Amino acid sequence: MSPAFDPERLAGRIAGGEPLALARGISHVENESDGFEALLERLDGRTGRARRIGITGPPGAGKSTLTAALTRHYLNQSLKVGIVAVDPTSPFTGGALLGDRIRMGELSTEPGVFIRSMASRGSLGGLATATREAADLMDAAGYDRVILETLGVGQAELDIAVSADTTAVVLVPESGDGVQAMKAGLMEVADLFVINKSDRPGADRLEKEIAIIMSIRFANRPASGAGGDADGEADDVWRMPIMQTVASEARGIEEFAAHLDRHFDWLRSTGKLEAHRRTARLRRAHDALLRRAGRDAQRIWRRASPETLDSGASPYAIARRLYEEFRETLP
**Cα–Cα dist 151/143, whole Å:** 22
What are the E-state strand segments in 201-315? 242-244
Instruction: Name residue 154's amino acid.
Output: G
Helix (H) or strand (E) holding 74: helix 63-76
Cβ proximity to a second copy: between 139 and 236 the closer is 139
- Name beta bridge partners: 114: 82
Position 157 contacts a second copy (CB under 8 A): yes
**215, 229, 320, 329: residue in contact with a second copy (rule CB under 8 A):** 320
**27, 31, 248, 298: residue in contact with a second copy (rule CB under 8 A):** 298
Position 274 contacts a second copy (CB under 8 A): no
Binding mask 106-135 for a second copy (x = CB under 8 A): --------------xx-----x--------
- Give the binding-site size for a second copy (rule: CB under 8 A): 60
Shortest CB 169 distance to a second copy, Å: 14
Length of the chain: 331
Position 248 contacts a second copy (CB under 8 A): no
Position 215 contacts a second copy (CB under 8 A): no
Torsional class of 257: left (φ above 0), alpha (ψ -120 to 50), beta (otherwise): alpha
Residues of span 1-40 touching a second copy by CB under 8 A: 37-38, 40
**85, 96, 138, 242: residue in contact with a second copy (rule CB under 8 A):** 96
Q: What is the DSSP string of 1-25?
A: ---SS-HHHHHHHHHTT-HHHHHHH
- Which residue stretch of 137-145, 163-171, 200-208, 285-293 sits at the interface with a second copy (rule: CB under 8 A)? 285-293
Cα distances (Å, whole numbers) of residue 146 to 55, 81, 96, 236, 263:
11, 6, 21, 25, 15
Other residues' Cβ atoms within 10 Å of the Cβ of residue 13: 17
Positions touching a second copy (CB under 8 A) are: 37-38, 40-41, 44-45, 58-60, 88-89, 95-97, 120-121, 127, 151, 153-157, 176, 179-180, 182-185, 281-282, 284-286, 288-294, 296-298, 300-301, 309, 314-320, 322-323, 326-327, 330
